[in-house]
Amino acid sequence: MIISFLAGLIFGIGLIISGMANPAKVLAFLDLAGNWDPSLIFVMAGAVGVGFFAFLWARSRKTTLLGGAMKLPVVTRIDRRLIIGAVMFGIGWGLAGFCPGPALVGLGMGVPKAILFVLAMLAGMGLYELFERRRGG
């Protein structure tokens, strides 16, 4: 629990320092045709780089550093559901300036827009679970 807390704390602080928790900065990054702010490219490139090497290392392991079973994604196919989910994620990110991690940071900071976003995100997750159960998935 302590390691999970510290990892989340470091992640949240990184989101604040990088500007990813600031919806105005994120929306300026997404505004390619207007007043574009490219500074978040470096944040994303750093995250992709860290993630790439972390997954590469994780593939060579059978257990996590804490001894649990290593559970990596097994589905590699790009299908209709993935594309629809990615489009919905992008629309939500573009409208609100939040994605899930920064929205939780904003929630912790009491940002009203983040509170609404997290409520909508939780409702969407609940609907997904409901539809999956009905679908038999």
pTM to 2 decimals? 0.75
| DSSP-derived secondary structure for 88-119 | HHHHHHHHHS--HHHHHHHHHTT-HHHHHHHH
Residue 93 inside a domain? The answer is: yes
Residue whose tokens read 């609100």: 96
Residue 110's domain spans which residues? Answer: 2-38+75-135
In a domain, 49, yes or no: no
Residue 69 lies in a domain: no
Q: Is the residue at 54 inside a domain?
A: no
In a domain, 123, yes or no: yes
Divide the 137 residues of the chain into consecutive groups of 10 and give the mean pLDDT of each group: 90 91 91 91 92 93 89 89 91 90 91 92 93 85
Identify whether 99 is part of a domain: yes
- Tell me, yes or no, whether 82 lies in a domain: yes
DSSP state of 97: S
Report the C-alpha gap between 95 and 117 in whole angstroms.
Answer: 10
